[in-house]
Structure 1
Amino acid sequence: MTTADRAIRSNEPPGTCENITVAELRELVCKGRDSWWTVLLVDPVALRLVRWTDRHTEVTPDQVTWAALALGLGAAGCFTQGTPGWLLAGALLYHLSFVLDCVDGKLARLQDRRSLFGGWLDFVLDRVRVACCALALMGGQWLLGGDPGYLVLAALVVFLDMFRYLNGLKVAQIRAVMRKQITEYEAAQQGDSPLPVVELTERQLPSVEAVDVHQGFRHRFPWYAEYRTRLVDLRIRPHLVGGIEFQMAVFIVGPVLGQIVGVTLVTGAALVAFELALIYKLLLSTRDFDLTVGRLVPAGAVLPAPAGAPVTESGGWRTPVPE
């Protein structure tokens, strides 16, 4: 693999990839917002692994994904033994597995090898890893002590992990649909370029005109904008206990501290609390969405239907009437 090939894939001038700094690589391949565990504890290592892998190997992102799964299954094997030493080994392997799980996406972005199938594969294998490790960790404790409550805990871990990621995907999908429909409704009404739809809790340039679909949330929680801005400036998402933090607590912190049950229950409760907050924020956003659409087009007006919008018998779309 030549330097020119790498430069083309990463949209950088020839030779840049050979001498790219960690800071430059971070700007190139890291997400704008990520889990605090990832940003603080994983990215410093993962970025250097990405750079080394791109410079010195022919390894593909999908191969890294499979390697992450292999380490995750190794962690599961350690967890089945149940004793403190094996739990520590399992926690270490799980952390290394997660590091590789972060490397694959960054490597794909650097090499411009992102694909729909790769995203699907990464998501599915992550769920397989979590399920196997949950059953192994809790099953190992059940075999040692005979407490069937560990089996219930295993099911709870798998359920919460799936709920978090499916809920996150659906919330993101609904928000994308709202943004798209508002811009299309506005364009259909005015016949010109629609207003950009953004979350006004982001930093914005004063000159940018935007449709605000978060007025209700900002009105109820005025402190949130500053809280969110401070975290986003550090690349940390405001959702402080999400799927990643939950996994790390269950499969690393709990086994290392010897407090598997307590850590799992406390972190699980925190995960549920943050998910409920996310759902509540979505509820307020949908109300703002209805009000915004009602202002863009008079109630009852029929216009050509934007993609995904409800279609009336006449072939147009009908705006909702705000309560």
Structure 2
Amino acid sequence: MTSFTLAEIRERTYKKRDAWWTVFLVDPLAAPLVKWTANRTNITPNQITFGAGVLGAGSAVCFALGSWPWLVAGALLFHLSFVLDCMDGKIARLKGNGSVFGAWVDFIFDRIRFFGCMLALLIGQWAATGEVVYLLLMPVVTFLDLLRYLNGAQVAKTRASMRDKLRAATLGQTVDAGVDDPESTEAANGGGAAAAAPESADPEPAPVVFMEEVLRENPDLSAEEVRSSTQGARVIDVHQGFSARFGWYDRLRGALLRSRVRPHLFSGIEFEMFVCVLAPLTAVTAAFSALPSLIVPVTIASCAALLVFELVIIYKLWLATRDFGTELRRIEASRPTGA
């Protein structure tokens, strides 16, 4: 039987940057559980995923019952289900026994758990109180959760498309200044209409380093440190416009990353936890005081916070597309005559 230490688990399974809810409220509990599970059992990641699904179903049942003791129980079960959801990936990375299908199952169970618990919570409260606002919140929460998934995927693809085009341009290929449909991979392959190989051989171009790729792998570095450590390479940064407008962002980012917290402070994880953990836990205050239930205000505040951060991501992407165009023109202007 293997013997993994907590230090080894943190080194091999912790992400370099993560949601603050995971860093402070999940990992401290998940790491000891991973240690015990990995060292003393042969439980697989898929079995842990199934266990998370069972706890999620129990959470939904508790939420549907509506009274405050059941709401508290549902919130605790939802959080524990999320802890197990984090554990399956850590076990897979630690033991190397993950699978592509397992990753798909993990994603599907995660979405089913959230939607099932969210619907059970809001429908249960509508049944208990008769207030229509709970029913009105259901499509809003659903829309925003789908929006952040679609937006995240498309933003990532658009950024990848810009990097592919800039990389192709530095190799002397002819590149269309417009960003392709993110589904297209022609730029990545260096062919098709997006790029054409140069007819004449030019001197070997300098290697290309993308600032966002380096910072993703080394989140503790600053932009200045990246430039000073990549001498001889062409450093491309398509987020200069954002940094110029918000100089405090890099300082905030550095402060957060020292604790592994990513600057995206209200992501999908916080959204789920606020709706399905924090909101139902507030039922305790309504049960023992004259205060009204805070489930609706907390849910509305969560929706607003998620929307604000998604709009910031879109704004940052828009500025990046402008920097992309500027950088592309700069690369083309630096080519030798006749290239």
Same-fold status (TM-score > 0.5):
yes
What is the identity, as a one-letter code, of the residue corresponding to 1:120?
W
Question: Which of the numbers 293, 313, 317 marks the counterpart of 2:328?
Answer: 293
Alignment partner, residue 238 of structure 1: 263
The 1-side partners of 2:129 and 2:27 are apart by 37
Question: Which of the numbers 111, 114, 117 marks the counterpart of 1:130?
Answer: 114
Alignment partner, residue 59 of structure 2: 75
TM superposition shift of 1:111: 1.6
Alignment pair present for 1:281 and 2:316: yes
Cα deviations by residue, 1:164-197 (Å, 9 ceiling, x for unpaired): 2221222222222322332232134664463111
Cα deviations by residue, 1:72-118 (Å, 9 ceiling, x for unpaired): 11100000010000000000100100100110111111122343322
The 2-side partners of 1:161 and 1:119 are apart by 20
Alignment partner, residue 240 of structure 2: 215
What is the identity, as a one-letter code, of the residue corresponding to 2:319?
L
Alignment pair present for 1:197 and 2:210: yes
Alignment partner, residue 254 of structure 1: 279
Assess, with a 3 A threshold, how the Cα gap between structure 1 residues 180 and 106 changes in structure 2: closer, same or farther: farther
Alignment partner, residue 143 of structure 1: 127
CA RMSD of aligned residues (A): 2.2
The 1-side partners of 2:258 and 2:267 are apart by 19
Counterparts of 1:294-309 in structure 2, within 5 Å, are 294-298=329-333
Alignment partner, residue 179 of structure 1: 163
Counterparts of 1:59-74 in structure 2, within 5 Å, are 59-74=43-58
Assess, with a 3 A threshold, how the Cα gap between structure 1 residues 120 and 294 changes in structure 2: closer, same or farther: farther
Q: TM-score, normalised by structure 2?
A: 0.79
Assess, with a 3 A threshold, how the Cα gap between structure 1 residues 88 and 112 changes in structure 2: closer, same or farther: same
Q: TM-score, normalised by structure 1?
A: 0.83
What is the identity, as a one-letter code, of the residue corresponding to 1:253?
L
Counterparts of 1:95-134 in structure 2, within 5 Å, are 95-134=79-118
Cα deviations by residue, 1:3-33 (Å, 9 ceiling, x for unpaired): 3xxxxxxxxxxxxxx1x43233112111111
Alignment pair present for 1:55 and 2:39: yes
Q: Residue 208 of structure 2 aligns to a residue in which SS? A: coil
Unaligned stretches of 5+ residues in structure 2: 174-202, 284-293
% identical equivalent positions: 49
Q: Residue 15 of structure 2 aligns to a residue in which SS? A: coil
Alignment partner, residue 163 of structure 1: 147
Quick check: 1:183–1:196 contact (8 Å CA) kept in 2?
no
Cα deviations by residue, 1:31-75 (Å, 9 ceiling, x for unpaired): 111110100011011111112111111111122112111111110
TM superposition shift of 1:298: 4.5
What is the identity, as a one-letter code, of the residue corresponding to 1:254?
A
Unaligned stretches of 5+ residues in structure 1: 4-17, 302-323
Q: Residue 279 of structure 2 aligns to a residue in which SS? A: helix
Quick check: 1:182–1:197 contact (8 Å CA) kept in 2?
no
TM superposition shift of 1:212: 1.2
What is the identity, as a one-letter code, of the residue corresponding to 2:11?
E
TM superposition shift of 1:287: 1.3
The 2-side partners of 1:153 and 1:85 are apart by 23
Structure 1 window deviating more from structure 2 (191-200 vs 34-43): it is 191-200
Assess, with a 3 A threshold, how the Cα gap between structure 1 residues 116 and 288 changes in structure 2: closer, same or farther: farther
The 1-side partners of 2:154 and 2:90 are apart by 24
What is the identity, as a one-letter code, of the residue corresponding to 1:297?
E
The 2-side partners of 1:119 and 1:105 are apart by 8
TM superposition shift of 1:211: 0.9
Cα deviations by residue, 1:126-170 (Å, 9 ceiling, x for unpaired): 111111011100000111112222112122222222222221222
The 1-side partners of 2:22 and 2:126 are apart by 31
What is the identity, as a one-letter code, of the residue corresponding to 1:196?
V
Structure with the greater relative contact order (CA < 8 A, sep ≥ 6): 1 or 2? 2
What is the identity, as a one-letter code, of the residue corresponding to 1:26?
R
The 2-side partners of 1:23 and 1:291 are apart by 45
The 1-side partners of 2:102 and 2:146 are apart by 19
Quick check: 1:33–1:236 contact (8 Å CA) kept in 2?
yes
The 1-side partners of 2:172 and 2:130 are apart by 65
Q: Matched residue pairs, number?
A: 286
